[in-house]
Amino acid sequence: MDYFKAVKSRYSCYDITGKSTISDSRLKEMLNDAVSCAPSSFNSHSSRLVLLLQSGHETLWNIVLEALRPMVPEEKFPNTEKKIGSFAAGYGTILFYEDQETVRGLQEKYPLYSENFPLWAEQGSAMLQYIVWTGLEAEGLGASLQHYNPLIDREAAAAFDIPDHWKLIAQMPFGVPAEEHRGGIRKGEDTWVRVVEKSGRRG
């Protein structure tokens, strides 16, 4: 698929199935390529990914469901179960982490920019999330971006042997879309992009 075709087609797909259009080895290869190619501050590559498949994927969404159970009113919990069940119905989930040891190392090495490195790490993660999401779209897979952190951080770390210095940023459940593609680029507005051909400053 052409890159901008994938960009225009990418959307939040919540109705996914437990099928994949590509092999697990191809998924891992794609994620490795995404991490190695994603921009990062001072070329630090502080992002870390965990690919959950089969029982690992199911375990994550059970953790989310049980974490939400005491927080959601009983009469509204069936809707919560349905929502979490739609993610669990997918083929897998990608967990996005940021290695805080790497971030702290940069803060110590470059104290002038110390307060910026946590923000730059978040920005780097966001770019990686978009690369992965668009890559899944190009392969015919639907995905959405979820944020049940920090509610699930401790349980997920224990379940998947995550180092203490990795900070959970987002979760991306994915699978073959259950319905016909509904994504597409929004109609543009003149105010979205400004073109400046010469400076308005006067000498």
| For residue 133, pLDDT beyond 80 | yes
- Which tens digits make up the pLDDT trace of 11-32? 999 999 999 999 999 999 999 9
The answer to whether residue 199 is domain-embedded is no
Question: Can you tell me which residue has the tokens 């059970």?
Answer: 62
* Per-state percent for the chain, helix, strand, coil, to nearest 5: 50, 15, 35
Contact criterion met (CB below 8 Å) for 175 and 21: no
Q: How many CB atoms lie within 10 A of CB 19?
A: 12
Q: How confident is the model at residue 192 (pLDDT cuts 50, 70, 90)?
A: confident
Whichever domain contains 107, its CATH number is: 3.40.109.10
Task: Give burial (CB, 10 Å; 0-12/13-18/19+) of 62.
Answer: middle
* Number of domains the chain contains: 1
Residue count (the chain): 203
CA separation for the pair 50, 29 (Å, rounded): 13
Q: Which domain holds residue 149?
A: 3-175
Residue 24 has a pLDDT of 97
| For residue 60, pLDDT beyond 70 | yes
- Which tens digits make up the pLDDT trace of 76-93? 999 999 999 999 999 999
Please state the rounded mean pLDDT for residues 61-85: 96
CA separation for the pair 83, 53 (Å, rounded): 19
Contact criterion met (CB below 8 Å) for 125 and 52: no
The answer to whether residue 80 is domain-embedded is yes
The answer to whether residue 184 is domain-embedded is no
Question: Which amino acid is present at 45?
Answer: H
The answer to whether residue 196 is domain-embedded is no
The answer to whether residue 190 is domain-embedded is no
Task: List Cα–Cα distances, 97 to 3, 45, 176, 182, in angstroms.
Answer: 25, 11, 24, 29
Please state the rounded mean pLDDT for residues 97-124: 96
Q: Which residues contact 85 (CB under 8 A, 6 or more apart)?
A: 61
| For residue 41, pLDDT beyond 90 | yes
The answer to whether residue 55 is domain-embedded is yes
The answer to whether residue 38 is domain-embedded is yes
The answer to whether residue 189 is domain-embedded is no
CA separation for the pair 94, 29 (Å, rounded): 13
Q: How many CB atoms lie within 10 A of CB 11?
A: 17
Q: Which range has the worst mean pLDDT, 77-91, 102-116, 122-136, 183-197?
A: 183-197
